[in-house]
Every structure is written in C-alpha cells, then in structure tokens.
Amino acid sequence: MCGGCVGTEYPERGTTCLEGGSFLLNFVGCAQCGRRDLVLLSNRAAGLHGGEEIVTYDHLCRSCHHLIARHEYTFSVVDDYQEYTMLCLLCGRAEDSISILPDDPRQMTPLF
C-alpha cells in the first residue's frame, strides 16, 4: 500500500461504508508513474467468515497497475442490528449500525 498516492491516509468517513468503488477525492495521483487517472479494482474476493460477510479488493493505478491500497468491507448482524465496517488507506475508515426492527430502540424517547 502506498501513502504517497493518497492525500490523507485512512481518512475518517463517519458512516459511509463502501462495498465497492473508490474515494477518488483522496487520490492525489500515482506515486510510481505520476498519473492521476481512474482507479482500477482488482482481486475482489467475497466470503463468509464466522457469520461475517467480508469483501476485499485492491485499488490499482490504471496506467501502471501500482498497488494504491487494499480495501476491506465487513457486514454482520449482531443482536437486532446490521453492522458495517470499512478500512482502506484510500477510502478511509467507517462504521455504521442499523436496526433491523421497524423502530430503532436507540432512537426511541423514554416515556418516563
């Protein structure tokens, strides 16, 4: 992975978890060839591991195929919540949790 290709390493992305794609605003250009072009996705793998869905792939320079970053996205269901995480040098780090119930208990106001 190459810190010279990105503006900020592992930027904080809040709840934006990408299962595919690239955060191009953070791509400053390839440190190897100097070009700033679209980013290729390569070596995509998806599978289940311990009840957790894990998707990984590589971000590559379109011109010279230099490895910019490795992307990891996870999805799982914990209790009554869908849990999402993302970790990538280019796309950043993020977490999200969404209730599978019609009304999220965390958003409910107490009656007393």
HSE value, Cβ hemisphere, 13 Å, CA-based, for 62: 10
Tokens of residue 17, six digits? 């978890």
- 20-76, pLDDT tens digit by residue? 999 999 999 999 999 998 999 999 999 998 889 999 999 999 999 999 999 999 999
Question: By the 8 A CB rule, do 90 and 22 touch?
Answer: yes
How many Å apart are CA 87 and CA 53, to the nearest integer? 14
Angle (CA) 35-67-49 rounded to 5° is 145
pTM, two decimal places:
0.85
Q: What is the pLDDT of residue 87?
A: 97
